[in-house]
Amino acid sequence: MTVNYATPTDLSAVAGLRLGTACAGIRKPGRRDLTLIELAADSRVAGVFTKNRYCAAPVLVCREHLAAGAIRALVINTGVANAGTGEAGMAAARATCTAVAAELGCDARQVLPFSTGVIMEELPVERFVAALPLCRDDLAADNWSAAAQAIMTTDTVAKAATRQFTLGGKKIAVTGIAKGAGMIRPNMATMLGFVATDAAVSQALLERLVKDAADASFNCITVDGDTSTNDSFLLIASGAAGNAAIDDAASTDYAALAEAVTAVAGELAQAIVRDGEGASKFIAIEVGGGASAEECKRVGYAIAHSPLVKTAFFASDPNLGRILAAIGNAGIGDLDVDCVRLWLGNGGTEVLVAENGGRASGYVEAQAAAVMAQAEIDVRIDLGRGPARARVWTCDLSYDYVKINADYRS
């Protein structure tokens, strides 16, 4: 069940990129599970990846190839994560790069591989290689929607976002796709996310922008608190729009590009939470009044990761002492609970639930129950200790989450 999200259908093509998909039968027959993205020469690429120490073989190869530069292609498979596969997994990831290079006439080090799916199973490279010519034949600039569907695993909807704006008289496109529904608590990005623009921008600013965009979007979400072995977020700039290359972080051009990229990344990140495994509610948590943004985010995640809080939201049960317990358990040793205030809201209407160390004097439980019955819920906390703030997006925890993950390999 997806909470108030529909996949956009009118996605802008990004000059300098072509995408193709195919059925490779990597895990399940009859579904498109292999995606090839071809990049124009001179495209610039930057990425951030999982900090999970059991990171997947394709993550290791991506880091290595990005350091060499001059990337010409991305290849993405679903069904098998190629994580926890040792030397055989590294060999498989390299073999896929070699196969793509042979199809496109580039060097294997110019290919970035991405995988998602079941951990600790070997990638069937022969099926992968057999389907690559079909991906090559399918390459087209307007294939973003097909690619968004082909990278899905337990997702129930494809996730995509797009923006257009003008720089120096040139029309600029920013389009992105992502996948993810479970094993979501990114420690850099999302499970898999790809955003591209045809703007020209320096490599140094692209690397800054991918980190900033991830921190404002994918690093603000959680479904179940588990960081994937395969998390990857890539930002591509083809430069094909013909604008004067952006090389000044203080320029209005960079500000406009950063705003568009961050908006696309934010929309994708929220779509992942709205499609969280078994989710029936989308919950936005805003924590203000903190001594630092880091402690505000820590409080937000303490609430978002609490099974007791998440199941209460699923049941529309205003057992909101659970939120206070989560705040108190967030590891802020000198927190003065008498200064903390908690509100629950929806659509601009807020209910003050707690202040002065306990229940607010005017709080009536029926008010909170009415808010919690909605599909979208806002939780706002003021820690009363400083000017910092942070936000976290999450979902509830339902019976279906257990069913989906219990049957994941079936």
Q: Catalytic positions, please?
A: 190
- Contact at 8 Å (CB) between 299 and 389? no
Q: What share of the chain is helix, strand, coil (3-state, %, to 5)?
A: 35, 25, 40
- Contact at 8 Å (CB) between 223 and 190? no
Give me the residue label for tokens 């003021």: 382
Give me the residue label for tokens 């350091």: 67
**d(C-alpha 188, C-alpha 145), whole Å:** 25
User: Which ranges of 242-373 would DSSP assign to H, the alpha helix?
Assistant: 252-274, 293-305, 307-315, 321-328, 365-372
Q: How many Cβ atoms are within 10 Å of 24's Cβ, its own excluded? A: 26
**d(C-alpha 371, C-alpha 169), whole Å:** 46
Q: Is the dihedral of CA 391, 401, 276, 33 positive or negative?
A: positive
- Contact at 8 Å (CB) between 332 and 299? yes
Give me the residue label for tokens 């921190």: 215
Buried b (16+ CB within 10 A) or exposed e, 271-310: bbbbbbbbbbbbbbbbbbbbeebebbbbbbbbbbbbeebb
* Furthest-apart CA atoms within the chain: distance in Å: 71
**d(C-alpha 20, C-alpha 138), whole Å:** 5
Angle between helices 252-274 and 203-215 (to 10 degrees): 40
**d(C-alpha 286, C-alpha 409), whole Å:** 36
